[in-house]
Amino acid sequence: MLYPIGIQNFEKLREGGFVYIDKTDKIYSLVSNGGYYFLSRPRRFGKSLLVSTMEAYFQGKRELFKGLAMESLEKEWGYYPVLHLDLSGKAYCSQEDLDITLDQHVSKWEAEYGIQPKYSKADARFKDIIDTAYGTTGRQVAILIDEYDKPIVDNLDNPELQEYYRKTLQGFYGVMKAMDRCIRFGFLTGVTKIGKLSVFSGLNNLRDISMLPQYADICGISEADLHRYFGESIGELAAAGGMNEEQCYARLAEMYDGYHFCEDSDGMYNPFSLLNTFASDKFREYWFETGTPTFLVKLLKQTEYDITRLAENDVEIDSDMISGVNDYINDPIPVLYQSGYLTIKGFDRMFGIYSLGFPNMEVKKAFMKMLLSQPPYRGMGNKIT
């Protein structure tokens, strides 16, 4: 079996014969309803592949969906212009970094539609691109934005640069509301919701699906997926580890399962760690080994919150706070939840209180290693040195 480790392009994955966990029924549901959507998920959880799958769908690449749910669900395949903005894969350290990235994307779109730019600013050019794509094709545009928040969260410790990025992105994303008549679908992803309200203040019809039960498994691998797609892999991993299949399933669940993106939802496995485990026939902390996000290290260095509490007990948080990040310096818990270091363990419906804890052993061990590998954080007190 071929495992798509590090492959985030749907077309490459399908043409290469890699295993693909079918999420296309979820995509069909979103597209059928239309509108603008936002999804928050931890890093390496399949967000970019999801966006790439949407892109292939809107481009009418029916052959790539053979055998998938979308093949039978979609009756009217067609081509729609796609504007795919990817802000990942780059460190944002200066004003020019974001300006250059936006210019690269809009220049590519202008060349695709034969547009001679009349303006210097990216947002004005973006507006012309949407208008031209709609006018020349007669089809409404699909706008897909991956890691919308990366420039902002890269600069939690640099208020001046963070504010420049916020204003720039607010103007760029705000174009979508003004061009609504030309847009069929909008989808934006990110790890956190830092700056969400201010960045998207002009896009007030954005629907957040991050904690909706029907989309809890839109990224990641469920227990049902594990049994459906990886029976052969389980056998090989069990044999390599000197255990039976029942013990192998239990070990996988202990290490990589347990992510809950809403109350009462089934647990999800971390796809990156699971696929690496099958590929190497070894249980390791693969997600952690790819590196702790820089923004999280910066945040924990600044906070006064006693983060050693997390090693001892679950923490509680009000439902109004878990879905947004405002005062992240004084309370890093929402960021830790959204970045995948904490997950939902329980929910008190009467009082609207979530209990959060580590999703699995990999994350718990990784978090402790992260604390011990860095100089003491402000919120450690004297408990860890």
CA distance 313 to 327: 22
Evaluate whether 98 touches 121 at the Cβ level (below 8 Å): no
Could you state, in chain order, the average pLDDT of each consecutive group of 10 residues for the chain (385 residues)?
94 97 97 93 94 98 98 95 94 95 98 96 97 97 94 86 91 92 95 68 80 95 96 97 97 97 93 97 89 74 79 85 69 87 94 94 86 65 45
Q: What's the pLDDT at 384?
A: 40
Please give the C-alpha separations between residue 166 and each of 112, 173, 283, in angstroms, as whole numbers. 28, 10, 40
DSSP element (H, E) containing 354: strand 353-357
Length of the chain: 385
Residues whose CB is less than 8 angstroms from the CB of residue 54 and which lie 6 or more positions away in sequence, other chains included: 27, 31, 142, 144, 185, 187
Neighbour-count burial of 7, counting CB atoms closer than 10 A to its CB (0-12 exposed, 13-18 middle, 19+ buried): middle
**Termini Cα distance of the chain:** 45
Task: Name the superfamily (CATH) of residues 10-210.
Answer: P-loop containing nucleotide triphosphate hydrolases (3.40.50.300)
Q: What's the pLDDT at 382?
A: 46
The β-bridge relationship of strands 221-222 and 268-269 is: antiparallel
Max distance between CA atoms of the chain, in angstroms, equals: 66
Q: What are the boundaries of each domain within the chain?
A: 10-210, 224-282, 289-373
Q: What's the pLDDT at 385?
A: 37
Structure tokens at 190: 């990110």
Please state the pTM of the whole predicted model. 0.93
Helices marked H in the chain: 10-15, 24-33, 47-58, 69-73, 95-112, 122-137, 150-153, 159-178, 196-199, 223-229, 231-241, 245-256, 271-280, 286-289, 294-302, 319-322, 333-338, 361-373
CA distance 231 to 245: 9
Evaluate whether 247 touches 240 at the Cβ level (below 8 Å): no
Residues whose CB is less than 8 angstroms from the CB of residue 180 and which lie 6 or more positions away in sequence, other chains included: none
CA distance 158 to 96: 15
CA distance 294 to 215: 28
Q: What's the pLDDT at 27?
A: 98
Structure tokens at 237: 């991993």
Whole-number CA gyration radius for the chain: 21
Q: What's the pLDDT at 77?
A: 95
CA distance 263 to 320: 14
Q: What's the pLDDT at 201?
A: 66
CA distance 132 to 130: 6
CA distance 279 to 268: 19
* CA 28 distance to own-chain centroid: 19
Residue identified by tokens 């796809």 is: 271
One-letter amino acid for residue 69 of the chain: A
